[in-house]
Structure 1
Amino acid sequence: FGIGHFTNDWQETVRRDDVDLVCITTPPSLHREMTMAAIENGKHVLCEKPMAMNADEAREMTDAAKKSGVLALIDHELRFQPGRRKAHEMVREGAIGQIRHAKYHFQAPHRGDPKVEWNWWSDESQGGGALGAIVSHIIDSFQWLMGTGVSSVFCQLQTHIKERSDSAGVVRQVTTDDECLLILRFAPNELVADATGIVSVSMTEYPTYKNRVELYGTDGAIAVEHKGEVLVAEAGDTEWKAVEVPLGDAIPGVPDTGFSRGFMAFAPEIITAIRTGASEIEHAATFQDGYEIQRVLDAAKESDRSGQLVVLD
């Protein structure tokens, strides 16, 4: 990859004078410590999702970033997928009227195999699980597309594969979820009526990969498939119609998904922002966005524990 320097000491990296941007792609349990150190050393930060272990950590990180003035972003790259951008534009043009309902279906079979090794994804203390890794993207997609936040959440989490062997062959308990079901309500605004939402996420379902968002409004509907294919329907239609949208480029050597195509469009924007000294990037998720998403994730966990609907302040 042409990498000129490597180290196993992350603290050395954040202290280097020739480092402009620190990309934090570790387990979430390390995000706060690494982010705070990077900010203290004047580095711009691109932090993976979920932003932190809880909203208190996310708030601390957000406050530090605002005080320092560095570029502080969350890697919600799906915002830069051309199909998602088209849907965002169409919603604001009034193509489907006021949004009444949002639906998201994500499934991936790769953790359905019990032979998949135990790792941080299996460990609650490290921030693993589908809620943080996948539902964080989904909440961000809803809030960005609809221009509003989640006002209440009911959540049920499930762990279908309860034990896995680690790299040493030791059988260990899985303490994280591999399936998430959420019922949401959204705060109303000029784009959103009294809207509800449904989220279905599974990391164990066969046979195919799915990553689809749907928005239903007073005048029609929009759907975006996993690579960015856009479908629309007007009120009264009985079939979806395809909208011609460029899919963008995928990252060479990795699975061709909306995530890779989104990041290929996102990365040049980050480079330009750093070179020009910009304090923000249009459409990019900020630390404030990450904090708001973390509040929803915390509420979802509380709902799963209590079996009750949780209303966000």
Structure 2
Amino acid sequence: MRLAIIGGGFGVDGHLPAFRAVPGVNIVVVADSGSGRIRDRLPTGTAYAGSWQEALSMPVDAVSVAVPPAQQCEIVLASLSRNMHVFCEKPFGLNAEEAETMNAAALSATACVAGVNFQFRFEPGLEALRERIVAGAIGTTCAIDLSWVTSGRANPGSPWSWRNDAAAGGGVIGAFFSHAADLFWWLTGAEPQSVFGQSRILVAERPDAAGTACHVTAEDAVTAQLEMNGGITATCRITNCQPGGDGMRLVVRGSEGVLVYRHAPPFGPADRSLVCLKKEAVAVPISTPPPECRSAETRLWAVHRCAGQFVRRVRGDQAAAFPAFADGLRVQQVIAGLRESIASRRNVMLRPACES
């Protein structure tokens, strides 16, 4: 499979190593916005392009889109119009309207495979958690509580970027809550019915490359509560600006017990745990990445596994399971409700989930 990667940030840091590790994938070209800074980081035989248009003009079968949300829709639509398969970063567009447009285009491009990188479905600890839920280890699921607290942007001196710009799709709602909304559905199979949330900007200004203070317009903290089918309540608290942040803690409460998953910084294989609490606490084993991947964050290993499933489907394996554009649309519909709730300070009923 001949692949173009669009994006000089996570496209190079995440998508490039993920797809390089998939047998039979030829990364033809990697594009950024024209800065050229990624040239020296590309493997031998991979071309550099200074624009996504240049990259799509090359002989490729598939496109991996890893650009800010505000730029995703145009690239995805152009790729599908050329009958190229598309692997797109979350949160899948800038808003629900763009997500709906991209999903409709994918449904029309029947020969194309279209997926979204909700890679946490492929994190081994979360897979083990889901297996226990599906097997009925804690009975009927009643509630899910997610605390996702990191220190990645806690330093006010960390430079301003598009991630601090709401108009570009920055903020923890797109970066983190999009994963949370996907996980709540994937873990339980229950559709979200309503949402209530609040958000804050904890660091109001950040310096640009010249040291000039720039106003932050995108939230860096959010809390949300979702009511889901089957009487399940899902809550989350998310920020990437907490000094000493302790990572991800996901608690699933059932009628017969509790499952607790933790993944702490620096997010390696040894930093994960899964415990089933009934009459006593029982540790649940979590699979370990292969030797060549054990030094990396398991989050990046999960990107590789998600990319591998996408490639399998492109090659005709209908059993390959990966998040589709319809899943990206579902998440954006929840995000739209969350943003409406934050603006109105009230509980918001959600649109019916899209059909896959």
TM-score by length of 2: 0.80
For 2:196, what is the secondary structure of its paired residue? Answer: strand
For 1:231, what is the secondary structure of its paired residue? Answer: strand
1:1-313 residue pairs with structure 2 within 5 A?
Answer: 1-17=43-59, 19-69=60-110, 70-188=112-230, 194-226=231-263, 227=269, 228-234=272-278, 236-237=279-280, 240-249=281-290, 256-274=296-314, 276-278=315-317, 281-282=320-321, 284-313=322-351
The one-letter code sitting in structure 1 at the alignment partner of 2:297 is T
In the alignment, the residues of structure 2 paired with residue 107 and residue 63 of structure 1 have an alpha-carbon distance, to the nearest angstrom, of 35
In the alignment, the residues of structure 1 paired with residue 273 and residue 62 of structure 2 have an alpha-carbon distance, to the nearest angstrom, of 32
Could you tell me how far 1:278 is from its partner in structure 2?
4.0
Point out the more displaced range, 259-268 or 163-172: 259-268
In the alignment, the residues of structure 2 paired with residue 251 and residue 104 of structure 1 have an alpha-carbon distance, to the nearest angstrom, of 30
The one-letter code sitting in structure 1 at the alignment partner of 2:341 is S
8 Å contact from structure 2 (residues 201, 221) kept in 1: yes
In the alignment, the residues of structure 2 paired with residue 308 and residue 251 of structure 1 have an alpha-carbon distance, to the nearest angstrom, of 49
8 Å contact from structure 1 (residues 14, 43) kept in 2: no
8 Å contact from structure 2 (residues 144, 251) kept in 1: yes
Could you tell me how far 1:3 is from its partner in structure 2?
4.8
For 1:6, what is the secondary structure of its paired residue? Answer: strand
1:113-132 deviations in whole A, cap 9, x for unaligned?
A: 11011110010110000011
Gaps of 5+ in 2: 1-42, 264-268, 352-356
In the alignment, the residues of structure 2 paired with residue 145 and residue 161 of structure 1 have an alpha-carbon distance, to the nearest angstrom, of 33
In the alignment, the residues of structure 2 paired with residue 183 and residue 265 of structure 1 have an alpha-carbon distance, to the nearest angstrom, of 30
Could you tell me how far 1:307 is from its partner in structure 2?
0.6
In the alignment, the residues of structure 1 paired with residue 221 and residue 85 of structure 2 have an alpha-carbon distance, to the nearest angstrom, of 34
For 1:225, what is the secondary structure of its paired residue? Answer: strand
8 Å contact from structure 1 (residues 250, 256) kept in 2: no
- The alignment of Structure 1 onto Structure 2 pairs a total of residues equal to 301
- Inter-CA distance 263–184: structure 2 relative to 1 (3 Å threshold): same
The one-letter code sitting in structure 2 at the alignment partner of 1:297 is I
Q: Give 2:3's aligned residue.
A: none
The one-letter code sitting in structure 2 at the alignment partner of 1:213 is L
For 1:196, what is the secondary structure of its paired residue? Answer: strand
1:284-309 deviations in whole A, cap 9, x for unaligned?
A: 11100100100111111111111101
- Identity score, percent: 27
- Inter-CA distance 56–132: structure 2 relative to 1 (3 Å threshold): same
Could you tell me how far 1:85 is from its partner in structure 2?
1.6
8 Å contact from structure 2 (residues 275, 282) kept in 1: yes
The one-letter code sitting in structure 2 at the alignment partner of 1:143 is W
Gaps of 5+ in 1: 189-193
